[in-house]
Amino acid sequence: MPTRYVDRPIPQISLADFDQRIDQITQDLIDAAENVGFFTLVDHDIPVAEIEAMFTTAERFFSLPDDVKATVPWNPNNVGWEKNSQVRPSTGQPDTKESYQLQFGENMTDLWMADTHLPGFQDSSLAFMRRVQGVSERLMRCFARGLGFPDDFFVQCHDVSRPIAQTTMRLLHYFALPEQSDGKTYHRAGAHADWDFLTLLFQKEGQSGLEICPGREVVTEFGIGDEWTKVEAKTGAIVCNIGDLLMSWSDDRFKSTFHRVKAPSQPGDYFGDRYSIAFFNQPCKDSLIQGPRKKYPLVTGEEFNTQAMKRNFAALQTKLKSMETAV
C-alpha cells in the first residue's frame, strides 16, 4: 500500500541569545512538544564545520573492515557496533544499516575503537558529545520550566559526568540500495518511537529519508497512524524529537512521535549511503522519574529503559507471530 503523505509544519526554534530569550524559547519548545513532538534547532552554537568533522570521523569508522569494527561489539548496555541486527516491531525485519553507539561513562570500558585503527577517535567523539550535551542542557532547562520543576532538575537527572550516565550518541550508516528493484524489501529504519528523554539528530544535506507520523496520545500506546511527513535533511540544523521518557515524565502532555527512515523506492529518492548522528538523552540509572501529576508509577532511569526494551521485545514477538500466520 502506498504511503500517504501530508504536509505538516515542523517548528523551527532559534536558540540565539538563549539567556535573554529563555522565556520565549521555553514557550516555543512547549508548543512544539505538545502539538508535534518534533522541531528543528538553529543558532545552537555548534558550527557546521564541527558537525561535518564528526561526520568525517564517523565515515572513517564505518570504512574500517568488519573484523576491526567487531573489536567493539554491541552489548545490552546500549553501546558498541552492530550491523544488520536491529529488528523493529513495525517491520519484523532488520534495518539495512550499521551503527556504533557511544556513551560518556563506565559502559564504554574497552569499547572505544583503538587509536591503532582510528587515531584520536575517542577524544574527538567525546569533544563533540560534550558540545551536543551543552545544547541538550539548555533544552532541559526549558522543559523543566514548562513542567514546573526547578530549572536544573532534568540537567541533574542527565548528569553525564557520573559513571552511571546512560546518554548515548549513535553514529549511523545506512547502506546504499539498488536503484533497480532486485525483488527484496529493504528498511533503513522501520517506524518507531524513541524511548529516551529527547533525541537530537544531525543529518547530511541531500541524504533524505526521515519521515514523521504524529498522533500518539498516551506513552503506553504502540500503534501508529498512516499519514507521514517528510523532514528535509540540512547539515547545520538539529532535528529534535520528544522521546517516550519525556512523554511519561510530562504525564503524556508532550508527545513522543513515531518516525522512520524510509528506504528509497522511486526516482528522485536518495539511494546512496546515508549517514546520520543521533544523540539520545538518557537519565542516569538512579534518576527518579515521575510526572508532576503522578500519572505513572515512580521508576528509576534504569528501570524505565528495561521496561521500554521489554515492551519493544513483546511488540516484536507479536509482529513476528503475525508474519508467520500470514505465510
> pLDDT digits over 40-70, tens only?
999 999 999 999 999 999 999 999 999 999 9
Q: What is the number of other CB atoms lying within 10 angstroms of the CB of residue 298?
A: 10
pLDDT at 45: 95
User: What is the rounded average pLDDT for all residues in the chain?
Assistant: 88
Q: Percent of the chain, pLDDT > 90?
A: 64
CATH 2.60.120.330 at 4-326, yes or no? yes
Across the chain, where does the E strand assignment appear? 4-5, 12-14, 38-42, 80-83, 97-103, 168-174, 189-192, 198-203, 210-213, 227-230, 238-242, 258-261, 274-281, 288-289, 299-300
pLDDT at 220: 62
Residue 159 and residue 137: Cα distance in Å, rounded? 9
In this predicted structure, which of 54-68, 210-224, 292-306 has the lowest mean pLDDT? 210-224
Confidence of residue 319 (pLDDT cuts 50, 70, 90): very low
> Which residues are CB-contacts of 86 (< 8 A; sequence separation ≥ 6)?
94, 95, 97, 99
What is the CA 9 to chain-centroid distance, rounded? Answer: 20
pLDDT exceeds cutoff 60 at 178:
yes
pLDDT exceeds cutoff 80 at 21:
yes
pLDDT exceeds cutoff 60 at 316:
no
Say which amino acid occupies 86: Q
- Average pLDDT estimate for 131-142: 98
pTM for the whole structure? 0.91
